[in-house]
Amino acid sequence: MSLPQPRQPESPVVLREMPTDGSVAVDTRVPPFPAADVDELRGVVHGPVYAAGDDGLAAEVATWNVAVQHTPAIAVGATCAADVATAVSWAVAHDLDVAVQATGHGPVRNAAGSMMVTTRRMQGLFIDPERRTARVEAGVKWQRVMEAAAEFGLAGLCGSSSDVGVVGYTLGGGLGSLGRKYGFAADAVRAVEIVTADGRQRTLSADSEPELFWAVRGGKGNFGIVTALEIELVPIGGLYAGGIFFAAADMAAVLHAWRRWAPGMPEEVSTSIAIMRVPDFEFVPQPLRGQTVVHFRYAYCGADVDEGERLVAPMAQAGRVVLGFIGPIRTDEMDSIHMDPVDPMPAWEKGQLLTDLPEEAVDALLTAAGPQADIPLTMVEIRLLGGALGRSAKVPNAVPGRDAAFSMFALGPGVPELAGIVPAVGRAVLGALAPWKAPSSLVNFLGDVSGPEEVAAAYPPGVYERLAEVKAAVDPDRVFSFGHAF
């Protein structure tokens, strides 16, 4: 498919050359504009404003995935929706494309020469226990939502890590440990507050601009900067969950046991399994340090805790346990299920969806990524989908992948020494399961993409065409063309 390309600023000039170690393609070109204009911008926003070359710019736009480093022309640290609207209008007036970042977990490529709006200072959070909703501003991480909601016996549809931002995760769909029971995080969105390319602050819902409301929930950052969400919270009476690490020698037995066991689980069960090559770092528990292991993850959110224990018993006995725990936990302890890293790190990642996981697929995975394979991947994961993830939301949205049975994801170190190796190996491991690859993809798991065509291909044809129409209506000049944009 042919897609329009991002606008390019006229007559870019190089302010300075920045040395690199090869890990990042650094582009320091910025369009010319008067310094007085930048000073004017500083005078009308509440947060800080940095121009290329200013001390503090790099810290303002720093990423969690440090394999990607941003070099924007201007960065605005927004404190409110008005700051966002002002920044977007200023950028458009100065022929700058606009990028946005909250926690820095999801960068795809350097937003070079852009206006970057950082939203991490926008920390408003309000829980309404009667309506079972939360209003969450753009900089809030899931950890705050889960802790605040837990006081009322409620939970949000958080992902594998509560350290990520609510907004970006949700706009890309949002697949978490309660998903098979309650659906994607985007399915729980009641209202969206957004600034579009014309600088307007809009509030979207099923009754207010329903077409843009449909598109934003699943369309990621294609349509503007979301400044706040109103999301539904779900009542959780009990949670029986955790993770177990099995020895590499039992990998085949464990993976085949999971393949047979997982599809028969009720919707109250969400589960995944991962081949992990654990680094030999001091912060890693000693039994795992430097080892290849199988990490089994499990979450049961039914009312009967004993049933959760009974259902997981076959997998708990599937191999030799190296480390792990599954038992009753609180909803604000759900990070213990996946045990994702919390410190910034360089990472390469890529995902795909699967229509099935037969015996032949597991054998192919073992051949490509089993303990005998000398590969530089940190993790190769498969998650069970289905249940509420396979049904349309009460208010339909653009989230793709509902017809898939499993999600597959590969992760490796995004360091310069392996820059030419990890992507090739990761794609080869994913390619080993190509016979079972689904046609669509989960946007949050796209990871490394070749360009907007690959992002567009994540959606079913009818969905993409509809998204493209909305994009043409609200952002015809593709002001928002970074990240997973199409």
Radius of gyration for the alpha carbons in the chain, expressed in angstroms and rounded: 22
End-to-end CA distance of the chain: 11
Which segments of 119-188 are extended strands (E)?
Answer: 125-128, 133-137, 154-155
Q: How far apart are alpha carbons 272 and 351 in whole angstroms?
A: 14
pTM, whole model, 2 decimals? Answer: 0.93
Contact 406, 437 (CB under 8 A): no
CA–CA separation, 258 and 191 (whole Å) = 38
Instruction: Calculate helix-pair angle for 251-261, 359-369, nearest 10 degrees.
Output: 150
Angle formed at CA 163 by CA 296 and CA 143, multiple of 5 degrees: 100
Instruction: Specify whether the CB–CB gap between 268 and 300 falls below 8 A.
Output: yes
Contact 188, 132 (CB under 8 A): no
Q: How far, in Å, CA of 30 to CA of 468, rounded?
A: 28
Q: Return the CATH architecture of domain 240-452.
A: 3-Layer(aba) Sandwich (3.40)
pLDDT of residue 402: 98
**Residue 237's pLDDT is what?**
82
156-181: average pLDDT? 98
Q: Give the tens place of pLDDT for each residue, 74-93.
A: 999 999 999 999 999 999 99
Per-domain boundaries in the chain? 13-118, 125-235+462-474, 240-452
What pLDDT is attached to residue 172?
97
Report the relative pairing of strands 74-77 and 115-118 from DSSP bridges. parallel
The predicted structure's pLDDT at residue 238: 85
- Quick: pLDDT tens for 451-480: 899 999 999 989 999 999 999 999 999 999
pLDDT tens digit sequence for 231-254: 999 999 889 999 999 999 999 999
Residues paired with 29 in a beta bridge: 14
Q: What percent of the chain has pLDDT over 90?
A: 88
CATH number belonging to domain 13-118: 3.30.43.10
Quote the tokens at residue 76.
């605005």
Q: How many CA atoms lie within 13 A of 471 on its CB side?
A: 22
Measure the CA–CA gap between 288 and 324, rounded to whole angstroms: 10
Domains 13-118 and 240-452 share a fold: no
pLDDT digits (tens, 9 = 90+) for 343-393: 999 999 999 999 999 999 999 999 999 999 999 999 999 999 999 999 999
- Average pLDDT on 259-267 reads 98
**Mean pLDDT across 326-345:** 95
Q: What is the mean pLDDT of the chain?
A: 93
Answer whether residue 13 shows pLDDT above 80: no
pLDDT above 60: residue 192: yes
Among candidates 434, 453, 267, 269, which has minimal Cα distance to 353?
Answer: 434
- For 19-74, write each residue's pLDDT tens digit: 333 333 344 445 567 889 999 999 999 999 999 999 999 999 999 999 999 999 99
Q: What is the pLDDT of residue 31?
A: 52
Question: In angstroms, rounded to a whole number, what is the distance separating the alpha carbons of residues 287 and 243?
Answer: 15
Residue keyed to tokens 């329009």: 4
C-beta neighbour count of 246 within 10 angstroms: 25
Q: Give the pLDDT of residue 256.
A: 98
125-235+462-474, which class in CATH? alpha beta
d(CA 402, CA 185): 13
